[in-house]
Amino acid sequence: MRPEFKDKSIRSFVIRGGRMTEGQQSAFDQWWPTYGRSLHDGLAATQMIFAEQKPVVVEVGFGMGDSLLEMAQADPNTNFVGIEVHPPGVGRLINEAGRLGLKNLWVFMADATDVLTDCFDDNSIERLQLFFPDPWHKKKHNKRRIVQKPFMTTIARKLRVDGVLHMATDWQPYAEYMVEALAQCPEYINPMGAEHYSPAPDYRPKTKFEKRGERLGHGVWDLLYKKSSSHGL
């Protein structure tokens, strides 16, 4: 399986090389027909997901999928959609979802901007999660950061009124950058007040990396912004 892309000059990720293991390929063979969704199907890719009339939560860049899997297990009354470009993480997630028999989780292996633009109606998503995105530390690479005004505007169009954009990062300069970026987006309001972070909600599982960081005194910053009612379409 290969990620699905449309033409674009700058992306917020780099596809890592390497072949899939036999186990990863087996996971795709067995479980992709159940959990996989195609960018090229457009709105039809999510029609069944929204037909169930459950809240829909989307996570962009779920990595190996541990937290998304845990959230889907804990909340069967919510439908979860993951977007990730790296096959190993996608294979692992759908394999575990199949093993557990989850009925409320689906996956796109494609660019997030493409998926949101083509496969989701406006005002449809309850919460969009962006946990620990690559901060692209070097200044010359800052243009690759996923937190950019055009992408934030795309998310706002897809969120329901009062829907939530939840970001989290373990790098303070990126957290400060996120605050500055969202201040330039009038579609959002920060319920905690301008330039304030939020306590980590109970629904966000802590990763092993995060727990280790806490023991070492490292911080994690959660940012929860709501779509303003004045920007409903």
Q: Cite the active site residues.
A: 134
- Distance separating alpha carbons of residues 184 and 148, to the nearest angstrom: 10
**169 — phi, psi (to 5°)?**
-150, 155
Instruction: Look up tokens 């954009």; give the residue.
Output: 165
Contact 228, 159 (CB under 8 A): no
Instruction: Look up tokens 């009124």; give the residue.
Output: 161
Pairing of strands 56-60, 79-83: parallel
Question: Helix, strand, or coil here: 64?
Answer: coil
Instruction: Look up tokens 């959230």; give the residue.
Output: 71
Supply angle C-alpha 137, 141, 146, rounded to 5. 85
Question: Which tokens in the block code for residue 207?
Answer: 């990763």
Sheet with 36-37, edge to edge strand ranges: 36-37, 105-108, 79-83, 56-60, 125-131, 159-169, 221-227, 188-189
User: Per DSSP, which regions of 26-149 are E strands?
Assistant: 36-37, 56-60, 79-83, 105-108, 125-131
Contact 128, 166 (CB under 8 A): yes
